């Protein structure tokens, strides 16, 4: 695979000097166009030590406008980073639309090194690579232009380069013991790299192998590849109709089926369930006391809890959430109310802002509305294209899987009420001055779309309720019953996990 | 001081039921007005355990619209938090304009407990309180409405409350061993609290002592106090002319003096200093090697380095920065290019976005332009009022002092060139296609304001160059000389600190 990158390709000083100004100018022009475009650029450099990963990243940040660019390299994770899924720190640093993010090794680093050092077997390694494929597919689907450069150097060339650097006392610091240690594992490293590149080079996130021995050759190569890809994408985008990120027109056939599909997972719920005031008070105290004790153990064992609340307008989310949080110490929980995204959030993949809020280990985070907005309101109101919301089921499952694998307890609540009960509550809100703010025209409009929402909820639950991240459907016509069911199931999930 | 909060004040159930709906409605109306107003609200609850700090915070988040409100309590700092100055985590959580932030104990917690447990002496304690005063003054000056509630309970009342809670197995979890431990230190705690309140109750960030024994009384009290203060402020703001945050008109007399003050700290610089190409190459390698070694030691010793670069347009900041960073491992440094603030940043105090970017221990952060924009471009272009930029010298000194006290090496570079040299560079940029983007109409306009800038730079250096956070003035007409001076002084500062 790497033969073509050991040919000794070179560029003369003169040719380089002639080519660079032209390349730089075109890169800058393309970057200026990118600023107004609707996608981010993700450049990833990986490869053999000494083949110019870092130097190429530096050079690009010299050639490009640094204000529209961010470079990130990752050392060992901090405590806060270890307390979240591995990809948390990569998400934190993803560039917004219009910007360039340059990543050094990044998400490839651990999988590669784990495999080379024998910490993962082949199937574990492939799992790691699958996760990477998911991430890159998700970003590409969201519009990102992804380019990955494998900077290559033959075994002898690497040795020679290290020796040259070491010979001069002023550059010897550039070669570390770690570099030599890695050199000894060269063959194994290259075999692993080959496997990685084969599996993760996709149409929308391709690898390019670059011969790194000659710095002029590799610089021009990287610069030109970036320029070509960027110009091509910009031309495409500018010539295509403004259709929200370039998604193909959605097939409209399924709509028909959906309108006919009338029995949903919500139908079997027994909406007559109630709890009398006395039992409610008793159970409330009982489960709050239990939750408090369970959570203390969870905190000590660094067990993270994530609770997601979705439901009909006036379904009682707020009240249920407060019954949970009032059993907890304020230092241990956080309620994230999800409204429309702000500027910065809108400039990223829709999951970005949820990654941002992931709790540290041992905490409870309650999402009052969540990433499921993508397949509910955004689907119904056409804020997301058909293609976008359809693929988000898989994206959401992958996201939640990462939370669960990292050890979090994840529960998702759907607070269900009947349309009749909703009308009663809307009326009550209208008549109680301090509740009136909760009721908007939008709520009334949403009510008219009850059937569409019911189908969206059905699809959501069917596609995203998993053993490890289940949906709990809550019969919510009686608020007391609903609150106790929420508390009870949180306790149950915690107790099961804590053993 | 607390006598008036041990009177046994109560509100009957009936009165409470009658008052709450009215209060809630007015609070919500005020909050809706706040959303469009230009200031944030900071509510702080501190006080005696069991007097209803947490409960009051919870209640307010039930009464108010939770989407416009954030509640924060703070446990022991995480590793990432300990690696930054103490206030970093408070800054992270400050509410933007139009929102309410509710803080439990927050910045008062450590000073109080340190004093009660004898970990600080009286003068150390007063220093802590001074820092708090600075923070609150800064926020108030920026427009924040700050209210602080001291929730009080007499010693016997506290004991009684704990016993009642403990008697019921369902509420006994609310009383911890820590609560009893604190109860035994009640008298000492109260004495310390008294001192705290006396020193930190200011006109624009007043304390109110609230009797906490009766939950109905305290809830109405807190709600009404918040309502009153909020309505008063909103009325004031709406009736005053739109003058950028309500700052009083600036005295214009000093302008006169300034225009006459002609000898600046920049004048004595020897702008003819140069370095020939050969010495440059030698010194570059020498200092980069040295910097690399010094930084490795700094990283191992968790010594943080913060470098600030300011200077004339085309002064050579970018080139100097790259000569520093190319001596470092990409994982260890970060360059923050400061341009116009984004939405989220604009909704906070101007220092907020710099707090946000503070590095973890052992890293190097380079600011390409910085918080000094406040006293340079914002002063010259009238983006900040006279009052605002004048008070920012003190705010900046306090900010930097916190960095230095936390152990960071902080260096600030002014890259100086003459107007003649600037013109040459502007011309060169205009003639080199790939450099043309660097030159904007604004650059030419700024050039016309050279004299005003010179005065602003002079004032800035005079007021913010301190022993622990000095400005280094760099004679920059010769780029080679400038780059070496930067590298050399960074090395010197690191070597001195590392001993």
On the question of pLDDT at B49 being above 80, the answer is yes
Q: What is the mean pLDDT of residues A304-321?
A: 95
What average pLDDT does chain A have?
89
Residue B31 C-beta-side C-alpha neighbours within 13 Å: 23
Res A261: pLDDT: 52
Give A 446-475 residues with CB within 8 A of chain B: none
CA A357 to the chain's CA centroid: 12
In angstroms, the separation between the Cα of residue A382 and the nearest Cα of chain B is: 24
Residue that is written with structure tokens 């390409």 in the block = B368
Whether B286 sits inside 8 A of A434 (CB atoms) is no
Q: How far is CA B145 from CA B44, B139, B140, in A?
A: 11, 8, 6
Strand order in the sheet with B471-475: B333-337, B364-368, B305-311, B409-416, B471-475
Residue A360 has pLDDT above 90, yes or no: no
What's the pLDDT score for residue A313? 93
Assign domain A260-498 to its CATH superfamily: P-loop containing nucleotide triphosphate hydrolases (3.40.50.300)
Tell me the average pLDDT of chain B.
Answer: 89
CATH code, residues A3-239: 3.40.50.300
Q: What is the pLDDT of residue A60?
A: 92
Residues of A in contact with B169 (CB under 8 A): 289
Using CA atoms, how far apart are residues B341 and A343, in angstroms rounded to an integer?
12
Give A-chain residues touching B171 at CB under 8 angstroms: 285, 289
Q: How far apart are CA A380 and CA A386, in angstroms?
A: 10
Burial category of B467 from C-beta neighbours within 10 Å (exposed 0-12, middle 13-18, buried 19 and up): exposed
Q: How far apart are CA A105 and CA A45, in angstroms?
A: 6
- Which pLDDT score, from 0 to 100, does residue B17 have? 94
Is B330 close to A71, i.e. CB distance below 8 A? yes
Q: Cβ contacts of residue B464 below 8 Å, gap of 6+?
A: B372, B393, B396, B397, B400, B412, B471
| CA separation for the pair A307, B376 (Å, rounded) | 47
Percent of chain B with pLDDT over 90: 59
Give me the residues paired with residue B283 across strands.
Answer: none
Mean of pLDDT values over B216-221:
94
| Three-class DSSP labels, chain A | CCHHHCCCCCCCHHHHHHHHHHHHHHHHHHHHHHHCCCCCEEEEEEECCCCCHHHHHHHHHHHCCHHHEEEEECCCCCHHHHCCCCCHHHHHHCCCCCCEEEEECHHHHHHHHHHHCCCCCHHHHHHHHHHHHHHHHHHHHCCCEEEEEEEECCHHHHHHHHHHHHHCCCCHHHCCHHHHHHHHCHHHHHHHHHHHHHHHCECCECEEEEECCCHHHHHHHHHHHHHHHHHHHHHHHHHCCCCCCCCCCCCCHHHHHHHHCCCCCCCCCCCCCCCCHHHHHHHHHHHHHHHHHHHHHHHHCCCCEEEEEEECCCCCHHHHHHHHHCCCCHHHEEEEECCCCCHHHHCCCCCHHHHHCCCCCCCEEEEECCHHHHHCHHHHCCCCCHHHHHHHHHHHHHHHHHHHHCCCEEEEEEEECCHHHHHHHHHHHHHCHHHHHHCCHHHHHHHHCHHHHHHHHHHHHHHHCCCCCCEEEEECCCHHHHHHHHHHHHHHHHHHHHC
For A396-431, the pLDDT digits (tens) are 998 999 999 889 999 999 999 999 999 999 999 888
- Confidence label for B262 from pLDDT (cuts 50, 70 and 90): low
- Enumerate residues 346 to 375 of chain A having a beta carbon within 8 A of any beta carbon in chain B: 360, 368
How far the first Cα of chain A sits from its last, in Å, is 50
Residue A242 CA to residue A154 CA, distance in Å, equals 46
Domain A3-239 matches domain A260-498 at the CATH topology level: yes
Closest by Cβ to B25, choosing from A79, A339, A433: A433
Measured distance CA(B93)–CA(A43) in Å, rounded: 32
Backbone angles phi, psi at B482, to 5 degrees: -65, -45
- Give the torsion sign (CA, B93, B94, B95, B97): negative
3.90.550.10, 3.40.50.300, 3.40.50.800, 3.10.450.630: CATH of B269-498: 3.40.50.300
Residue B257 has pLDDT above 60, yes or no: no
Among B7, B462, B3, smallest CA distance to B263 is for: B462
Can you tell me the distance from the alpha carbon of A149 to that of A331, in angstroms, rounded to the nearest whole number?
A: 44
Percent of chain B with pLDDT over 70: 96
Work out the minimum CA distance from A328 to partner chain B, whole angstroms. Answer: 9
Q: Are A397 and A289 contacting, i.e. CB atoms less than 8 angstroms apart?
A: no
Residues in A 307-326 with any Cβ partner in B closer than 8 A: 318, 322, 325-326
Tell me the per-residue pLDDT of B328-360, one tens digit each, with 9 for 90 and over: 988 889 999 898 888 888 889 999 999 988 888
Angle, in degrees to the nearest 10, between helices B155-167 and B177-184: 160
| Pair A306, A470: CB distance under 8 Å | no
Q: What is the pLDDT, as a whole number, of residue B244?
A: 46
- On chain A, the residues whose CB falls within 8 A of the CB of B286 are 170
Q: How far is CA A85 from CA A89, A402, A426, B153, B197, in A?
A: 8, 6, 40, 43, 43
Mutate which of A296, A434, A442 to test chain B, going by most B C-beta atoms within 10 A?
A434
pLDDT at site B173: 81
Is it the case that residue A286 has pLDDT exceeding 60? yes
Distances in Å between the Cα of B452 and the Cα atoms of A487, B387, B456 are 65, 18, 6
B176 touches chain A (CB under 8 A): no
CA-based nearest distance B140→chain A, Å: 25
- On whether the CB atoms of residues B29 and A434 are closer than 8 A, the answer is no
Per domain, the residue ranges of chain A are 3-239, 260-498
Nearest to A221 by CA among A10, A398, A474: A10
What is the C-alpha separation between B305 and B312, in angstroms, rounded?
Answer: 23
Residue B321 reports pLDDT greater than 80:
yes
> Which residues 21-80 of chain A have a CB within 8 Å of chain B?
21, 24-25, 27-28, 32, 54, 57-58, 61-63, 65-67, 71, 73-75, 78-80
The number of helices, as runs of H, and strands, as runs of E, in chain B is 21, 10
Q: What is the mean pLDDT of residues A469-493?
A: 96
pLDDT (0 to 100) of residue B442: 86
Distance from the A257 Cα atom to the nearest Cα atom in chain B, whole angstroms: 37
Q: How confident is the model at residue B477 (pLDDT cuts 50, 70, 90)?
A: very high
* Residue A252 pLDDT grade (very low, low, confident, very high; cuts 50, 70, 90): very low
Q: What is the 8-class DSSP label of residue B470?
A: -
Does residue A173 contact residue B328 with C-beta atoms inside 8 Å?
A: no
User: Among A409, A388, A415, which residue's Cα sits nearest to residue A472?
Assistant: A415
Is residue B261 scored above 60 in pLDDT? no
% of chain A residues with pLDDT over 90: 59
Tens of pLDDT, residue by residue over A51-97, are 889 889 989 988 998 888 888 999 888 888 888 899 999 998 899 99
């Amino acid at each position: 695979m790497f033969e073509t990158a050991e040919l000794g390709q070179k560029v003369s000083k003169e040719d380089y000097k002639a080519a660079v100004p032209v390349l730089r100018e075109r890169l800058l022009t393309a970057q200026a166009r990118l600023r107004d475009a609707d996608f981010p650029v993700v450049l990833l450099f990986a490869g053999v030590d000494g083949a110019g990963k870092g130097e190429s990243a530096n050079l690009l940040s010299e050639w490009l406008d640094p204000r529209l660019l961010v470079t990130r390299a990752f050392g060992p994770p901090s405590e806060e980073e270890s307390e979240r899924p591995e990809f948390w720190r990569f998400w934190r640093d993803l560039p917004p639309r219009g910007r360039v993010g340059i990543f050094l090794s990044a998400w490839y680093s651990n999988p590669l090194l784990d495999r080379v050092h024998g910490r993962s077997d082949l199937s574990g390694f492939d799992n790691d690579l699958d996760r990477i494929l998911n991430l890159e597919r998700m970003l590409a689907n969201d519009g990102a232009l992804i380019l990955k450069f494998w900077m290559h150097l033959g075994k002898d060339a690497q040795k020679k380069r290290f020796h040259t650097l070491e010979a001069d006392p002023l550059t010897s610091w550039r070669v570390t013991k770690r570099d030599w240690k890695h050199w000894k594992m060269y063959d194994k490293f290259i075999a692993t790299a080959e496997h990685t590149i084969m599996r993760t080079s996709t149409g929308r996130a391709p690898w390019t192998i670059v011969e790194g021995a000659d710095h002029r050759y590799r610089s021009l190569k990287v610069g030109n590849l970036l320029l070509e890809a960027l110009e091509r994408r910009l031309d495409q985008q500018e010539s295509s109709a403004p259709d929200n990120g370039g998604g193909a027109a959605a097939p409209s056939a399924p709509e028909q089926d959906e309108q006919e599909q009338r029995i949903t997972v919500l139908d079997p719920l027994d909406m007559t369930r109630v709890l009398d005031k006395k039992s409610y008070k008793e159970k409330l105290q009982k489960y709050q006391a239990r939750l408090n004790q369970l959570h203390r153990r969870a905190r000590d064992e660094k067990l993270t809890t994530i609770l997601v609340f979705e439901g009909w307008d006036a379904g009682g989310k707020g009240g249920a959430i407060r019954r949970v949080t009032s059993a907890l110490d304020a230092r241990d929980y956080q309620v994230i109310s999800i409204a429309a995204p702000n500027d910065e959030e809108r400039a990223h993949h829709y999951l970005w802002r949820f990654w941002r809020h992931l709790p540290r280990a041992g905490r409870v985070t309650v999402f009052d509305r969540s990433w499921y907005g993508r397949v509910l309101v955004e689907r119904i109101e056409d804020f997301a294209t058909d293609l976008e919301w359809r693929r988000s089921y898989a994206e959401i499952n992958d996201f939640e899987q990462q939370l669960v694998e990292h050890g979090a307890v994840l529960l998702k609540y759907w607070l269900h009420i009947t349309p009749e009960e909703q009308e009663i509550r809307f009326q009550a809100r209208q008549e109680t001055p301090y509740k009136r703010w909760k009721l908007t025209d939008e709520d009334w409009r949403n009510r008219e779309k009850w059937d569409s929402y019911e189908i969206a909820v059905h699809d959501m639950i069917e596609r995203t309720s998993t053993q490890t991240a289940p949906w709990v459907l809550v019969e919510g016509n009686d608020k007391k019953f609903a609150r106790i069911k929420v508390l009870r199931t949180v306790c149950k999930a915690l107790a099961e996990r804590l053993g």
